[in-house]
Amino acid sequence: MSATLSFTAPTPHGPHDITLAYTRVGAGEPLLLLHGIGHHREAWDPVIDILATEREVTAVDLPGFGRSPALPHGLPHDLPTTDAVLGSFCAALGLDRPHVAGNSLGGLLALELGRQGLARSVTALSPAGFWTPAERRYAFTVLQGMRRTARGLPLPLVERLARTAAGRTVLTSTIYARPGRRSPEAVVAETLALARAEGFTETLRAGRTVRFTDDLPGVPVTVAWGDRDRLLLPRQGVRAKQVIPRARLVRLRGCGHVPMNDDPAMVARVILDGSRTREAGAPEPSSSTVAS
C-alpha cells in the first residue's frame, strides 16, 4: 500500500502542516525505513518483502525527496526539524516506538530517533555523521557531482544507459558495489529522484556541521558498513563503535554504500536480527562481526 499523509508537526519552529509519502506492508512489530540523501523509499524495495514477513514495515520518503514535498517555507532541512517531523509521522500512523533502520542520512536520523527514545531498536547502514572534516568534504563533493550529473543528463540518455549493465555501472557505481543487479527501471527512477529532489541542497547544507557524538544507552544498536562503500569509507564504522560502545558492528562483505540492492538477503537478516531486542543479561556483542 502506498499513501500520502498530511499532518501537523510540532517542529522546533512551531506547528506546521507536513505531507509525507510512504509505503506500508506486512504484519508484526513496527519497523520504519529511512533512505539516504537524494534517494527515495524505493531504495528499500529489494528487502522490503523479506522484512514484511516478520514486521509491519513503513518506508517513507523524507521531506523534499521522492514523492514528499519539501518542508514548508522557513523550516530548515536540519536534523532537529526532520526528526521532529518523523516523530510526528510515527504518532500520526500509530507507530509506537518502532524499530528504525536507515541508510546514510537515514542511518543518522535513525540514531537520532534512538537517542531521543523514539525507537525501540536502531539499525544504521553506513550512517552519516562519523566522518572527519576531510571525509565529509569528500562525500559532499561526490554527492554534488552525482547531483549535477543527474540533472544534466537528458532522460532518453538515462534510459539508454540503464538498459545495459555497463550503463548502470556508469550511473550508480558510486553507491552500489554490484550496479548491474539494479533493474533498468529502478536506475532511471532513482536518477530522476536525485535530479528532482527539492530538499537536496538544504539538507546537504545543514549537514556541514553534523557529527554524531552521543551513546544510546538502553537502545539496541546495530551499525553495518559495506566493505566496498566508496562514499562513506568503512573506517567510519570503527568510529561509530567507539561512540556507541554497546553497538553491534557488522561488516557487509561485497556491499557498497547502499547495500540493500547488493545483497538483499544479508541486509534483511542484519536488520531483523538488530530488531530482536537482546534479552536482559545477554552478553555484550563483540566489537565486530561479519555478515556474508
Say if residue 6 is in the same domain as residue 19: yes
Which candidate, 217, 144, 146, places its Cα nearest to that of 187?
A: 146
User: 95 and 34 in one domain?
Assistant: yes
Q: What are the pLDDT digits (tens) for 211-256?
A: 999 999 899 999 999 999 999 999 999 999 999 999 999 999 999 9
Same domain, 127 and 141: no
Cell of 282: 545477554
Asked whether residue 282 carries a pLDDT value surpassing 50, the answer given is no
Query: At residue 277, does pLDDT exceed 80?
Result: no
> Per-residue confidence at 57, pLDDT binned at 50, 70, 90?
very high
Same domain for 214 and 171? no
Assess whether 55 and 117 both reside in one domain.
yes
- Which domain covers residue 157, as residue numbers? 137-196
| 186 and 43 fall within a common domain | no
CATH number of the domain where residue 99 is located: 3.40.50.1820
27 and 102 housed in the same domain: yes
6's grid cell: 498530511
At 10 the pLDDT is: 78
Query: Are residues 162 and 22 located together in one domain of the fold?
Result: no
Residue 201 in any domain: the answer is no
For the cut 60, the answer to whether the pLDDT of residue 78 exceeds it is: yes
Q: Is residue 234, in this structure, part of any structural domain at all?
A: yes
Residue 19 lies inside a defined structural domain of this protein:
yes
Both 30 and 169 in one domain: the answer is: no
Handedness of CA 36, 28, 6, 120 (dihedral sign): negative
Beta-bridge partner residues of 59: 23, 33
Confidence of residue 279 (pLDDT cuts 50, 70, 90): very low
